[in-house]
Chains A and B, each alone.
Chain A
Amino acid sequence: MRPILMKGHERPLTFLRYNRDGDMLFSCAKDHTPTLWYADNGERHGTYRGHNGAVWCCDVSRDSSRLITGSADQTAKLWDVKTGTQLFSFKFSSPARSVDFAVGDKLAVITTDPFMERTSAIHVKRIAEDPQDQDGDSVLVLENPEGRKRINRAVWGPLNQTIVSGGEDAVLRIWDAETGKLLKETDKEVGHKQTITSLCKSADDSHFLTGSLDKTAKLWDMRTLTLIKTYTSGVPVNAVSMSPLLDHVVIGGGQDASAVTTTDHRAGNFEAKFYDKILQEEIGGVKGHFGPINALAFNPDGRSFSSGGEDGYVRLHHFDSDYFSIKI
């Protein structure tokens, strides 16, 4: 497949998200401006201006009308997708890291980093139908008992009953979304050994995939937090994604440039690796990025996927017909 290169960001990419219909792709980067692209040909639609810091994460509502973004400028902002106007800004006292709309888009979960004396926290905010009624009140605030450790991703569980979080302490936790009580936690032998960098839910919210700097990605049951599969990669994992169509899992990562002492003469050799979801074996890879891959997303129709890297490029790939008949 020939990839479409989209250069719109000047700084490394942090997150990619498709909308539910699969025609829009949202990209977040460290350059403060989340961008909207057409998902089929990679043409840029527009940008959302307003943030003053790196944008870490975003989510789009089911009807593709609202976009929420979390940024290092200590705010999470609500945008009108079509016009690009900023509808509301949630203010926090530390950088906002992860955002996720609940089923029905009436609630959103936002995590904030530990900052100075503040600990990391999980906030649940109500999202009003009418942007005029929007207020900044929190429905629920969970202070992370670990305190000093950053939470990298927090997402809603099935039916908005739970919140799943993972971060620097390598432990995944399930919290009750109403009371804030800790329901489950992964234990040390089974869980990741280093920072959990990424998390991707399945289409039906039954299982999810996590990627970690310990060079593995793991597949978990969302309700019971049981480890189902483990995929080993040779490099630290920064981003993970699951195909909604076939039983494939994509893992992207790479050694950070600052940590490598010798230059890789083979430029363009950071690859997104495809694994068979059930057999846990590598089936192939897509090379091309000049730097570690930080973001991966599958189009909901499963016929294309995109990757964003440290090099600031977004690469959009439409699969060839032989992708769909891959057999190990």
Chain B
Amino acid sequence: MAVLDLDARAAKLGIDLSQVDFNSVILPPGENFGFESDDEDVYEDEEDFETGFGNIIVVDQLPVDNFKKVELIKEDGLSMPVDSDTSKTLGYCFIEFNTRQEAEKAKEKTNGYHLSKRGESDIILAVYTFDDIERLMNMNEEWEPPQTKPYVPNETMNLHTWLTDEKARDQFVVRCGPDTEVSWNDTRHLKSESVHKLQNWTESLVQWSPLGTYLVTLHKPGVAVCGGATNFKPLVHYKHPMVKLVDVSPGENYLVTYNSQTPNIPHDATQVDIKIFDVKSGRLMRGFQGSADEFSVEGYSVSWPVFKWAGGRDDRYFARLRKNTISVYETETFSLLDKRSMKVDNVVDICWSPTDYILALFVPELDDGNQPARVALVQLPSKVEIRQKNLFNVSDCKMYWQSNGDYLAVKVDRYGSKSKKSIESGFEIFRVKEKDIPVEVLELDNKKDKIIEFAWEPKGQRFAVIHGDLPRPDVSFYSMQTPGRVSKLVTLKAKQANALFWSPTGKHMIIADRLNGKLEFYNVDTLMTMATVDNFMATDIKWDPTGRYVATVVTSSVMEDGFYIWSLYGKLLYRTLKEQVFQFSWRPRPPSLLSEEKEKEVKMNLRQYVERYEEEDEDVLDLLSRQEEEKRRVMGEEWEMWINKWKKLHEEEKLQRQNLLGEEEEEEYCYETVEELIDVCEEVVSLEL
């Protein structure tokens, strides 16, 4: 209300303003009557149209009736004004409720309600809250176009500055104890340089988005996404209380959050609540609620991520597995593709190609062998099955896509004999990008070997398999290069290994025995081991996104905790001892902007680039060694000072000591190193080139 009206209003009500003590007026909580508060930094987008009458509704379109000469009928909160002249009701009434929420609820329920009396036409109630009417009456007749604010580029908000680091360093985030710290991996200076450190930055864990642009942090009220050049300010918040797990779509367009609630009654299913947000705006695009059974398939528990995103960076489709159905959604409308799910009986596992819109699915064996197991590749959005293969005597299978979507390997465990006692393993490998998608069958030399681990070479055509018996299984390497068959490169016998880590650029890999901490750095091109290192209790082994370095984390083993950075040849570059390291994760890099031809060009001209960088490296090394020398010199001098002081005191106390000992003190031995030049000899040696 404008101040001018106050006087008029006061006069109408018969209140003498001079008698009113304005300071004693206490506004109801939450209401500010349209006055902006001075003390809070409150920015309101719309003008606040709240009056103090939020709990009153106006019911209009009432039938007009005759009434006795009363000004106003008031009865238990209902007041119906009557026109005193015509003795008729005016056709509307006010109903007062205790709270605004009740008023709003009543409005919702009764608005549009058909009130009909016998013989009379339908009366449809129109119900408004008092606030609605005030607002509509006070609306500005003129429409003002909104003002445009000039664009000010904000450097700190540039989300990609980390990629332009001159020294081409990578970042990583470490959570240890209550601290979360993002640092540069500076291997020239053999240390990590902190970018941003915050205590209690996140409630439980942090996660990088797939292209490395954002850092997702979890908090009680929801999830936040942080980014920016140096200070990692929270950019957008997404409301979803008590989120447990988070997934970001490959193109960083959408954020999926997961929360589950264990029920109070033990027999009820766990309730699951999943929300999908648009990353940039924070808008909730779609929510999925239900019991845990709806999000998993019989016999398997809910595995995260529940929604699998289709290949490529468009984020166009995502799919979910349900009993006998695969639901594929598209992100334009966030509804089911073609408005229906795909019915696939007994489907157990689905897996998207990392680059194309091809979905691989697996249906296990049924009816005791009468209906064989099946692996199929479905093209989307057409939903056409482009390839399928029946597999016989299968007990279980697992699908592995190669990172470029070129190949799909399906590990098949078969029953060796009819009695289903022994298990044999093999691979069916689909050459997805070739015409008709040929399938090749690969059997291990020893069919009965258990397959422990499988890994495709990223961006390459090779894969590695660990098979055999623990603790010393064999490791074999195969190549898909020759079309038509899978050729074996080598089998390394009796290796202490239980995990494989390919470098993200291919070519190098680490054969690891986790927990015992034995890491073997292996070059697959030359088929030679480069180094074997010992890192006891290393729980995490992670390549950096460029494939130059490996980080190993020794988490909470009380002895020598911290993280270690190694070169790809297996040399320990540096280590940082930190207590209670909970998480270590490299910041992913977006794919290169260079085209394939350009990359080839750079590779050919590598020599020229190498020279320049080598010079820089040498300079830094020089600087470091000079600094080190300086430090040692200073320390040495300081120590000399102490020694001299002590020697002096020792001398002074000599007499007293002799008295105590009661004898002549012998000279303590003194050792001197003497360098003697024995012989100098010059010899010319011819170099053989």
Contacts and interface: CB of A to CB of B under 8 A. Distances in A.
B635 to A, nearest CB: 5
B579 to A, nearest CB: 10
Contact of A206 (B559, B561, B646): B646
Contacts of B669: 301
Interface residues of A, number: 34
Given A260-B558, A278-B636, A279-B632, A62 B661 contact: yes
B558 A278 contact: no
Contacts of B646: 204, 206-207
Interface string A124-163: 0000000000000000000000000000000000111000
B658 to A, nearest CB: 10
Contacts of B577: 232, 234
A255 interface: yes
A235 interface: yes
Nearest to B646: A206
B649 A206 contact: yes
Interface in B509-524: 515-516
Contact of B649 (A223, A262, A277, A278): A223
Interface string A290-328: 000000000001100000000000000000000010000
Interface residues of B, number: 28
A188 interface: no
A103 B661 contact: yes
B639 interface: yes
A234 B656 contact: no
Contacts of A160: 660
Contact of A235 (B516, B559, B656, B662): B559
A230 to B, nearest CB: 13
Contacts of B9: none
A279 B630 CA distance: 12
Contact of B537 (A158, A262, A278): A262
Contacts of B650: 204, 206
A84 to B, nearest CB: 26
A228 interface: yes
Nearest to B670: A245
A245 B671 contact: yes
A206 to B, nearest CB: 4
A266 interface: yes
B668 interface: yes
Interface string A225-258: 0001000101100000000010100000011000
A264 to B, nearest CB: 7
Contact of A259 (B558, B649, B653, B657): B558
Nearest to A223: B649
A235 B632 CA distance: 26
B560 to A, nearest CB: 4
Contact of B662 (A104, A254, A266, A301): A104
Contacts of B632: 279
B639 A278 contact: yes
Contacts of B649: 158, 206, 223
Interface in B376-427: none
Interface string B569-594: 00000000100000000000000000
B196 to A, nearest CB: 26
Nearest to A205: B650
A265 interface: yes
A203 B668 contact: yes
B657 A159 contact: yes
A292 to B, nearest CB: 11
Nearest to B534: A266
A235 B536 CA distance: 14
A245 B670 CA distance: 8
Given A159-B657, A301-B669, A235 B635 contact: no
A176 interface: no
A254 B557 CA distance: 12
Interface in A107-136: none
B642 interface: yes
Interface string B640-683: 00100010011001001100111000001101010000000000
A255 B559 contact: yes
A247 to B, nearest CB: 8
Contact of B657 (A103, A203, A255, A260): A103
A320 B72 CA distance: 113
Interface string A262-275: 10111000000000
Contacts of A206: 646, 649-650
A40 interface: no
A63 to B, nearest CB: 9
A221 interface: yes
Nearest to A266: B536
A221 B660 contact: no
B560 A234 contact: yes
A97 B642 CA distance: 32
B660 A278 contact: no
Interface in A30-86: 62
Contacts of A158: 649, 653
A264 B671 CA distance: 41
In this complex, which of A103, A160, A277 has the most chain B Cβ atoms within 10 angstroms of its Cβ? Answer: A103
Contacts of A204: 646, 650, 668
A103 B537 contact: no
B559 A234 contact: yes
Contacts of B537: 262
Contact of A159 (B635, B660, B662): B660
Nearest to A259: B558
A147 B537 CA distance: 40
Contacts of A265: 516
A266 B515 CA distance: 12
Contacts of A255: 558-559
B668 A103 contact: no
A62 B636 CA distance: 33
Interface in A180-210: 203-204, 206-207
Nearest to A247: B639
Contacts of B635: 278-279
Contacts of A245: 671
B662 A207 contact: no
Contacts of A324: 673
B536 to A, nearest CB: 7
B560 A235 contact: yes
Contacts of B671: 245, 302
14 contacts: A103-B661, A158-B649, A160-B660, A204-B668, A206-B649, A206-B650, A207-B642, A223-B649, A234-B560, A254-B559, A260-B558, A262-B515, A266-B536, A277-B639
The 7 A-B pairs of least Cβ separation, nearest first, read A206-B646, A104-B660, A234-B560, A278-B639, A103-B660, A104-B661, A204-B650
Given A103-B660, A262-B537, 20 more contacts: A102-B660, A103-B661, A104-B661, A159-B653, A159-B660, A204-B650, A206-B650, A221-B642, A228-B642, A232-B577, A234-B577, A235-B559, A245-B671, A255-B558, A255-B559, A260-B558, A278-B636, A278-B639, A279-B635, A302-B671
